[in-house]
Amino acid sequence: MLSFVLRKMGMLIPTFLGITLIAFFIAHLIPGDPASSMLGILASDENLRLSMIRQLGLDQPLTVQYWHYLSATLQGNLGSSLVSREPVLAEFLRLFPATLELTFFAMTFALLFGLGLGIVAAVKRGSLLDRSAMALALIGYSMPIYWWGLLAILFFSIGLGDWLPDLALPVSGRIAAEYDLTPITGFMLVDSLLQANHAAFRSALSHLLLPALVLGTFPMAVIARMTRSSMLEVMREDYVRTARAKGLAPSRVMLVHVLRNALVPIVTVVGLIVGPLLGGAVLTESIFSWPGIGRWMIEAVWQRDYPILQGGLLLIAALVIFVNLLVELLYGLLNPRIRHG
C-alpha cells in the first residue's frame, strides 16, 4: 500500500510544477506591467518605475524570475495584495475556512441525497420514483447556480419572510451581525460550540443552510445519476447472482455486494466534482455575500490585483490536486485490484 501512495504522490510533482508555471505567467500576461500596477499614481515617474522594476527583479531573464518565484512559493511567500498590502497566503488562510465550511456542507448534502436518490432509483428501476428522481437530477445539473441561488433567496428568504417570518433564512454573511465570535478554528459552527454560544451556533447554521443547498445541488445531481447507473451495471454482474443464490437478504445484497462495487466509479466522480464545486463556490459566495476565497478571487479580478489571482489559483489548484490524490488513494482502498496490480 505504501508504494502505491508514494507512486501516486510522485506523479503530482510535474503537474504541480506546471501550475506554478501558469501562475507565474499570469502576472506576465496581464496587460500593463506589474511595476506600474504596484506604483499606481506614482508610476508616471519613470525613475521610480525603473527602480521598482529592478526591485521586483523584472529586468532579469524569465527563467531566473521563474526560479525566484518558485523558490519563494515553496517557502510560502506568495506575494502581497496590491490593494490591501496583506500577504496573499495569510489572507487565503484567513478566508479559506469559510469556503471550506461551505463546501464541506454542500458536499455532505450532495453525498447524502445523491447516494440516497441514486440507490432508490436503481433499486426501483423504471418506477415513478425512479423517473422522478432522475428528472430531479437532470434539472439539478442543468440549473445555473447563480440563478438557483437567486431563486432560493426569493423563496426561502423573501417568500418565507412574507408568510412564515420565523423560518425565513438569512442570505448574507456567515452569522448574524450581533454575534461577535472569537475565531479559533475559523469554522463558525465549531467556534460557536467551543465557546458554548448556542444562539450563535443556530445563527451560523441558519446562515449556512441556503448557500450549502444551492452549492450542493449540482454535485447531488451528478452523484445521483452516477450512483444509479453504476448500481444498475453492478447489479448485472455474476457475483450479484451468486450473492442471491446464497440466500442473502435483498438489502444485504444491495448494500454489501452491489453498492460496495458501485462506489468505485462514484468515488471517481466525487473526485472530478471538486473542481466544479470550487467554481460553484465562487458564484455562491458572490450571491450570498459569503466571505470566502471565491469572493476574494473575483474581487481580485475586478481590481486587477494579480498577486491574489496568482497565489489564489496556485493554492486552489494545489488543493484540487491534493483532493484528487485522496480520491485515488480511496480508490485503491476500495478496489483491491488496483492496489496489487
Partner 1 sequence: MSLLEINNLHVRFGAGATAFRAVQGLDLRLEVGETLGIVGESGSGKSVAMMALMGLIETPGQVTAERLAFVGNDLLCARPAARRRMIGKDLSMVFQDPVTSLNPAYTIGSQIVETLKTHAPASRRAMKVRAEELLAAVGIPEPKARLAAYPHQLSGGLCQRAMIAMAIACEPKLLIADEPTTALDVTVQAQIIDLLLELQVRHHMGLILISHNLAVVSQIADRVIVMYAGEVVEEAPARTLFASPKHPYTAALLAAIPENNPIGAPLYSLPGLVPGNLERQANRCLMANRCDRVREECLLERPCLAMDADGRIVRCIAPLNGGQ
Partner 2 sequence: MAYSIPESATVENAADSSLSDVWQHLRHSPASILAITYVIALLLTALFAPWLTLHNPVEQFREHLLDAPLWRGGTLDFPFGTDDLGRDLLSRLIYGSRYSLFIGFTAILAALLPGVVLGMLSAFFPRFLGFGVMRAMDVLLALPSLLLTVAVVAVLGSGLINTIVAIALVQLPGVVRLTRATAIGELAKEYVAASRIAGAGVLRLLFIAVLPNCIPPLIVQATLGFSVAILDAAALGFLGLGAQPPTPEWGTMLASARDFIESASWVVYLPGLAIMSTVLAINLIGDGLRDLLDPKLRVR
Question: Is 35 in contact with 56 (CB distance < 8 Å)?
Answer: yes
> Cα separation of 74 and 70, whole Å?
6
CB of 178 or CB of 238, closer to partner 1 = 238
CB of 37 or CB of 335, closer to partner 1 = 335
CB of 174 or CB of 228, closer to partner 2 = 228
The DSSP output letter for 13 is H
C-alpha cell recorded at residue 134: 432522475
Question: Is 145 in contact with 276 (CB distance < 8 Å)?
Answer: no
Which residues pair with residue 87 across a beta bridge? 80
> Cα separation of 72 and 79, whole Å?
9
Of these, 242, 255, 289, 299, which contacts partner 1 (CB under 8 A)?
Answer: 242
Q: Can you give the binding site for partner 2, defined by CB under 8 A?
A: 14-15, 18-19, 21-22, 26, 29-31, 138-139, 141-148, 150-151, 153-154, 158, 225, 228-229, 274-280, 282-283, 286-287, 297-298, 301-302, 304, 306, 309, 313, 316-317, 320-321, 324
Encoded one letter per residue, x for contact with partner 1 by CB under 8 A and - for no contact, window 257-276 reads x--xx---------------
> Cα separation of 239 and 258, whole Å?
9
Which of partner 2, partner 1, none has residue 334 at its interface (CB below 5 to 8 Å by kind)?
partner 1
Of these, 162, 166, 178, 238, which contacts partner 1 (CB under 8 A)?
Answer: 238
Note the helical H segments in 33-178: 34-39, 46-55, 62-74, 88-123, 128-142, 145-152, 160-163
Of these, 214, 220, 222, 243, which contacts partner 1 (CB under 8 A)?
Answer: 243
CB of 166 or CB of 238, closer to partner 1 = 238
CA nearest to 215, candidates 118, 116, 110, 294: 110
What is the nearest approach in angstroms of partner 2 to the Cβ of residue 118? Answer: 11
- 124 binds partner 1 per the rule CB under 8 A: no
- 335 binds partner 1 per the rule CB under 8 A: yes
What is the nearest approach in angstroms of partner 2 to the Cβ of residue 95? Answer: 15
What number of other Cβ atoms are within 10 A of residue 214's Cβ? 28
CB of 31 or CB of 336, closer to partner 1 = 336
- 246 binds partner 1 per the rule CB under 8 A: yes
Of these, 54, 124, 198, 244, which contacts partner 1 (CB under 8 A)?
Answer: 244
Which of partner 1, partner 2, none has residue 257 at its interface (CB below 5 to 8 Å by kind)?
partner 1
CB of 70 or CB of 313, closer to partner 2 = 313
- 247 binds partner 1 per the rule CB under 8 A: yes
What is the nearest approach in angstroms of partner 1 to the Cβ of residue 225? Answer: 22
Size of the site for partner 1 (CB under 8 A): 22
CA nearest to 117, candidates 193, 253, 48, 217: 217
Of these, 248, 318, 321, 323, which contacts partner 1 (CB under 8 A)?
Answer: 248
CB of 14 or CB of 76, closer to partner 2 = 14
Give the position of cell 465549531.
190
C-alpha cell recorded at residue 335: 478496489
Question: Is 112 in contact with 340 (CB distance < 8 Å)?
Answer: no
What number of other Cβ atoms are within 10 A of residue 237's Cβ? 14
* Three-state DSSP class for residue 32: coil
What number of other Cβ atoms are within 10 A of residue 282's Cβ? 19
Alpha-carbon distance values, 201 to 54, 108, 174, 189, 244 (Å): 51, 19, 11, 6, 47
Question: Integer distance in angstroms from the first to the last C-alpha of the chain?
Answer: 11
Which of partner 2, partner 1, none has residue 337 at its interface (CB below 5 to 8 Å by kind)?
partner 1
Q: What is the binding site for partner 1 (CB under 8 A)? A: 237-239, 241-250, 256-257, 260-261, 334-337, 340
